[in-house]
Structure 1
Amino acid sequence: MTDIDSETRTKLEAAAFRRLLEHLRERSDVQNIDLMNLAGFCRNCLSNWLKEAADASGVPLSKEESRTYVYGMPYEEWKEQHQNEATDAQRRAFEESKPNH
């Protein structure tokens, strides 16, 4: 993407980010712990990164607002509807993969 100007690159990156969020919202069956175990990040990480970017740009955005944006609904509502209790195997995998996060 070296021949693309920065404004176009930003638009493409934003579109890819929006599509990632859409995909994660559609795949509510994929638990955050599984994302962490496999990829080293989860929906909460994305919302934290969004808030950090807002803070760095002087844009007011609360943690709750960033999570609502990423999850497509309030976080507590998403947890009630979609989050399962982590299994022992998921917890072990999380502990083993922690250095990679």
Structure 2
Amino acid sequence: MKDATADLTHQQRTEIEAAVFRRLIQHLDENKQVQNIELMILANFCRNCLSKWYMAAAEEQGTVVDYDQAREVIYGMPYTQWKDKHQLEATPEQLEQFNNRGK
């Protein structure tokens, strides 16, 4: 089976991947009601994970982006502001589900 991206140039692939990343961030921004703990339970990643991946990717490119800067890219605002406005306290049920992942 042929790789679907085999005919793309490196630049085309990079631009497509960047567009997908921006769309993911936009989608998360449009769905602030989806809590990080829910993402962790269902998908084993959350906005904070994306922030860490962003920071690591920047480092691989020789650029320093600290965790707060990366979070601001992902959350679209300082994390503390986003947390105050949109993050709810995890329920006991959510915490139990989170703690029992992969068991």
TM-score strictly above 0.5: yes
C-alpha separation between the residues in 1 aligned to 2:8 and 2:47? Answer: 29
Match in the other structure for 1:94: 98
Deviations 1:35-79 (A, max 9, x none): 000001000000100000111111121111000000000000000
- Selected match of 1:80 from 79, 84, 101: 84
Q: Which amino acid aligns with 2:94?
A: Q
C-alpha separation between the residues in 1 aligned to 2:61 and 2:21? Answer: 18
TM-score w.r.t. the length of structure 2 is 0.92
TM-score w.r.t. the length of structure 1 is 0.94
Q: Which runs of 5+ in 1 are unaligned?
A: none
Q: Which runs of 5+ in 2 are unaligned?
A: none
> Higher helix proportion, which one?
1
Q: Which 4+ stretches in 1 moved above 6 angstroms? A: none
- Selected match of 1:34 from 24, 38, 50: 38
The higher relative CO (CA closer than 8 Å, separation ≥ 6) is in 1
Please identify the structure whose Cα radius of gyration is greater.
2
What secondary structure sits across from 1:93 in the alignment? helix
Percent of pairs with identical residues: 47
Number of aligned residues: 99
CA RMSD of aligned residues (A): 1.1
Q: How does 1:8-27 map to 2 (within 5 A)?
A: 8-27=12-31
Deviations 1:14-53 (A, max 9, x none): 0000000011011000000000000010000001000001
Q: Which amino acid aligns with 1:71?
A: Y
Match in the other structure for 1:64: 68
**Deviation of residue 96 (structure 1)?**
1.1
Match in the other structure for 2:53: 49
| Greater mean alpha carbon deviation, residues 9-18 or residues 56-65 | 56-65
